[in-house]
């Protein structure tokens, strides 16, 4: 960044009008930077004010826990305690474009999957990286900020399977309750249903338009797909611009949205860096308290008068339950957990949207490819001074879409979601970041650099929306500070249609690049180096199945490990009211309760689950 002096005195130590302008500019930039990740935006740590007993204790202050804490604290007569293992979101997490930079940092649990045959084979140590947020706001602090709700049929299937109250028509009001939609055209009623709302805590904006958006739009229309104004309504087959949880150019995480407005409430105490070690459950199977390690390293306990709500996420929620004696009996005995409170299939039913980043192309636009790379100082200046520019954009192309393959013929819902991601030519920093975060080995990273030397590098990323394969979370030991073992189970069911479905997604990418629109951008397929697949012909199914098993990885959507279902379902962990079967005073409210994963990014559905959970809790207890 260069500052043009108005006259010869315009130096940092200069005098006169220009000197004052320079000083004012620097002051403005410093003040703007201090507003990022500002601790004053979040509740203060209440460790020194801890009470011996609260009406409700919420474990986990993430995408769900922040919502539950906010809603319960609206009842002034109740005392609420929120326990979060992390601290405040960092300044860098507020900058939308720095998504890859904040992974594998102190606000990320930095989980890695266990090696399993046939999955993650081409990544370091044959393990997939699974980023999960460790801060107030949870994974909403490190995610891609995409606001997608899933399909109507997802929720109707939940209800059909015995989860009364969870059909799409019944949960739509809870999506709307949290939402502050800023894009006015979507606020108009669609027939007899209005799908969006204003005035909620969570800001939802139309994603910033990137350079290639219009070209990609023309290409998918050329392929015969419908271009939709909103992909969050009851139809999803087609493509649309994304909406994102961004507010005034900065990330709107759930702590900022839900906790900041009530940070000074006397009835809400928030403890940060409070790592829950186990739940306290008596011989009558009533959960009455929580044991945790506070930010001073002391083991402490606190009791609840009414309920404990576990909102620690798909990995941590089952870990806490199992450490507390709630889980598969054989596994708990093996880990030395005693006493065993309730034999439930906690940690099973793990699902994720397996994504493939290995379908890559070069594209070139003569209007942009020959321009010099943006000056990074200019980018930060525009962001800090005006909250504008590339740093306000989510780190992906601002469109997404759904296709229905001919594999899942028994279901009329689309089964593959498509994402588009562009790396600028010769952007070595971003290429290194992607390799580091995904876990590419040195040879694949070198290949990524090589294919981006001449022109922009396009990833067309298919993600499997309704996987049939299942994984599992297991304890590593009875030590609550050890990461649990994650077995993602990708492509592990030999009878499933998962491979065939994803191969259809890869076929889409080739048809996409072959459109007249993309050929006008000089689009052409490139081959990443993958050691185990290198000698195979890229035009064969054998190559692409090999590539999927080598580089297929998470799109950051784990769900299902505390499955919701009626008491008659032997695989269910919680009831449709989210109460843990067989244990009183205990609920789970986060993405782990999904019986089947929704067909979209899961942050908005997780917030909906929390809104509905809080509503059920308030209705049950407000008259008692």
Residues in a beta bridge with 228: 240
Place of tokens 């459109």: 515
Q: Report the Cα–Cα distance between both ends of the chain, in Å, rounded.
A: 62
Summarised one tens digit per residue, pLDDT across range 416-425 is: 999 999 988 8
Confidence grade of residue 10 (pLDDT, cut at 50, 70, 90): very low
Percent of the chain with pLDDT over 70: 92
d(CA 497, CA 90): 41
Q: What are phi and psi of 381, to 5 degrees?
A: -60, -45
Closest by Cα among 482, 591, 599, 555 to 62: 591
Exposed / middle / buried, residue 410 (Cβ in 10 Å: 0-12, 13-18, 19+): exposed
With 0-12 / 13-18 / 19 or more C-beta atoms within 10 angstroms meaning exposed / middle / buried, residue 284 is exposed
Task: Check if the beta carbon of residue 130 is closer than 8 Å to that of residue 554.
Answer: yes
CA distances from 560 to 149, 514, 585, 617 (A): 16, 38, 21, 21
If you write DSSP's letter for every residue of 90-151 in order, what string do you get?
Answer: PTGGGSGGGTTTTTTSTTB--EEPPPBTTBSTTBGGG--EE--B-BTTGGGGTS--B-----
Q: 250-251 and 553-554: which strand pairing? A: unpaired
449 given a catalytic annotation: no
d(CA 369, CA 455): 7
487 and 497 Cβ atoms separated by less than 8 Å: no
C-beta neighbour count of 304 within 10 angstroms = 23
| 624 contact partners, CB below 8 Å, separation of at least 6 | none
The residue-averaged pLDDT of 204-217 equals: 87
The encoded tokens of residue 503 equal: 């191969």
pLDDT band at 375 (very low <50, low <70, confident <90, very high): low
What percentage of the chain has pLDDT greater than the value 90?
Answer: 81
Q: What pLDDT is stored for residue 16 in this prediction?
A: 47
pLDDT at 199 over 90: yes
Distance of alpha carbon 466 from alpha carbon 471, whole angstroms: 14
User: Residue 346: which of 609, 568, 159, 592 has the closest Cα?
Assistant: 592
Instruction: Report the chain's mean pLDDT, rounded to a whole number.
Output: 91
**Beta bridge mates, 588:** 310
Q: Can you tell me the distance from the alpha carbon of 560 to that of 256, in angstroms, rounded to the nearest whole number? A: 26
Q: Give the pLDDT confidence score for residue 394 in this predicted structure.
A: 79
Q: Check: CB of residue 365 under 8 Å from CB of residue 456.
A: yes
Task: Please enumerate in sequence order all residues whose Cβ is within 8 A of that of 207, keeping only pairs 6 or more positions apart, or say none.
Answer: 146, 241, 242, 243, 244, 246, 393, 394, 398
d(C-alpha 598, C-alpha 603), whole Å: 11
**How many CA atoms, within 13 angstroms, populate the side-chain half-sphere of residue 35?**
15
Structure-token pair, residue 327? 């889980």
The bridge status of strand 243-244 relative to strand 275-281 is unpaired
Question: In this structure, what token pair is assigned to residue 34?
Answer: 């201090």
Q: What is the pLDDT of residue 30?
A: 54
pLDDT of residue 17: 45
Alpha helix positions (H), 468-551:
498-513, 516-519, 541-551
Q: How many CB atoms lie within 10 A of CB 566?
A: 13
The DSSP H or E segment spanning 474 is strand 472-474
CB-count exposure of residue 268 (10 Å: 0-12, 13-18, 19+): buried
Rounded mean pLDDT of 254-259? 98
pLDDT for residue 371 = 45
- Average of per-residue pLDDT across 225-249: 93
Cα 330 from Cα 161, distance rounded (Å): 27
CA dihedral 269, 270, 276, 281 (to 10 degrees): 20
Digit-coded pLDDT (tens) for 563-592: 999 999 999 999 999 999 999 999 999 999
Which residues are CB-neighbours of 587 under 8 A, at least 6 positions away? Answer: 307, 308, 309, 310, 574, 577, 578, 579, 580, 613, 617
CA distance 204 to 149: 12
Given a contact cutoff of 8 angstroms between Cβ atoms, the answer to whether 551 and 459 are in contact is: no
Which has the closest alpha carbon to 143: 593, 600, 468, 506? 600
Q: According to DSSP H, which parts of 244-396 are helical?
A: 254, 313-323, 329-334, 376-386
> With 50 as the cut, is the pLDDT of residue 8 above it?
no
Residue whose C-alpha is closest to residue 593's, from 563, 555, 572 = 563
Task: Using the predicted structure, report yes or no on whether residue 31 has a pLDDT greater than 70.
Answer: no
Radius of gyration of the chain (CA): 25
pLDDT at res. 313: 98
Q: What is the pLDDT of residue 27?
A: 54
What does the pLDDT look like over 77-135, one tens digit per residue?
Answer: 999 999 999 999 999 999 999 999 999 999 999 999 999 999 999 999 999 999 999 99
Show the tokens assigned to 269: 């105490």
Task: Write down the pLDDT at residue 13.
Answer: 37
**Residue 484: how many CB atoms within 10 A of its CB?**
23
Residue 481 exposed, middle or buried by CB count within 10 Å (0-12, 13-18, 19+): exposed
Q: Is residue 1 over pLDDT 50?
A: no
Residue 250 has pLDDT above 80, yes or no: yes
Q: Which of 269, 353, 459, 557 is catalytic?
A: 557
Order the strands of the 202-206 sheet from edge to edge: 179-181, 202-206, 243-244
How far is Cα 287 from Cα 280, in angstroms, rounded to an integer? 6
pLDDT band with cut points at 50, 70 and 90 for residue 186: confident
């Amino acid at each position: 960044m260069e500052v043009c002096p108005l006259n010869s005195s315009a130096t940092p130590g200069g005098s006169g009008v220009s000197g004052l302008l320079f000083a004012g500019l620097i002051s403005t930039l410093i003040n703007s930077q201090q507003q990022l990740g500002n601790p004053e935006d979040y509740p203060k740590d209440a460790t020194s004010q801890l009470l011996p007993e609260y009406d409700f204790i919420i474990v986990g202050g993430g995408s769900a826990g922040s919502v539950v804490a906010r809603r319960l604290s609206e009842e002034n007569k109740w005392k609420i305690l929120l326990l979060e293992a992390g601290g405040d979101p960092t300044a860098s997490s507020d900058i939308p474009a720095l998504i890859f930079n904040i992974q594998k940092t102190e606000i990320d649990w930095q989980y890695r999957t266990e090696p399993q045959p046939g999955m993650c084979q081409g990544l370091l140590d044959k393990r997939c990286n699974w980023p999960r947020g460790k801060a107030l706001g949870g994974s909403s602090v490190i995610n891609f900020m995409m606001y997608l709700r899933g399909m109507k049929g997802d929720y109707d299937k939940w209800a059909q399977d015995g989860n009364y109250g969870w059909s799409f028509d019944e949960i739509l009001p809870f999506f709307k309750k949290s939402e502050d939609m800023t894009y006015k055209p979507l606020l108009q009623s669609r027939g007899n249903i209005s799908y969006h709302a204003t005035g909620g805590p969570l800001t939802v904006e139309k994603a910033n338009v990137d350079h290639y958006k219009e070209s990609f739009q023309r290409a998918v229309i050329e392929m015969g797909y419908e271009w939709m104004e909103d992909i969050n309504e009851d139809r999803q087959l087609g493509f649309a611009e994304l909406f994102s949880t961004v507010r005034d150019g900065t990330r709107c995480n759930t702590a900022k949205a839900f906790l900041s407005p009530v940070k000074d409430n006397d009835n809400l105490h928030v403890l940060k860096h409070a790592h829950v070690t186990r739940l306290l459950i008596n011989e009558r199977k009533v959960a009455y308290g929580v044991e945790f390690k506070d930010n001073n390293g002391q083991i402490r306990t606190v009791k609840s008068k009414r309920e404990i709500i576990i909102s620690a996420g798909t990995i941590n929620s089952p870990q806490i339950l199992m450490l507390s004696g709630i889980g598969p009996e054989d596994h708990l005995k093996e880990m030395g957990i005693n006493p065993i409170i309730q034999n439930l299939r906690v940690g099973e039913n793990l699902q994720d949207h397996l994504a493939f980043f290995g379908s890559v192309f070069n594209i070139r636009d003569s209007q942009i490819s020959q321009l010099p790379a943006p000056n990074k100082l200019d980018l930060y200046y525009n962001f800090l001074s005006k909250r504008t520019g590339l740093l306000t954009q989510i780190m992906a192309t601002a469109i997404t879409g759904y296709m229905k393959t001919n594999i899942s013929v028994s279901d009329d819902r689309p089964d593959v979601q498509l994402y588009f991601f562009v790396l600028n030519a010769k952007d070595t920093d971003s290429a290194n970041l992607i390799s580091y975060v995904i876990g590419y080995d040195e040879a694949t990273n070198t290949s990524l650099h090589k294919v981006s030397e001449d022109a922009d590098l396009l990833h067309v990323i298919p993600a499997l929306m309704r996987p049939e394969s299942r994984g599992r979370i297991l304890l590593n030991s009875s030590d609550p500070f050890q990461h649990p073992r994650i077995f993602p189970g990708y492509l592990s069911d030999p009878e499933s249609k998962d491979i065939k479905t994803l191969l259809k997604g890869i076929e889409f990418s080739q048809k996409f690049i072959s459109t007249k629109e993309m050929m006008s951008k000089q689009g052409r397929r490139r081959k990443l180096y993958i050691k185990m697949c290198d000698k195979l012909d890229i035009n064969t199914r054998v190559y692409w199945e090999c590539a999927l098993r080598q580089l297929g990885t998470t799109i950051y959507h784990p769900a299902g490990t505390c499955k919701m279902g009626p008491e008659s379902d032997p695989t269910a962990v919680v009831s449709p009211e989210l109460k843990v079967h067989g244990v009183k005073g205990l609920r789970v409210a986060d993405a782990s309760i999904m019986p089947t994963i929704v067909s979209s990014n899961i942050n908005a559905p997780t917030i909906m689950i929390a809104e509905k959970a809080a509503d059920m809790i308030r209705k049950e207890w407000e008259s008692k």
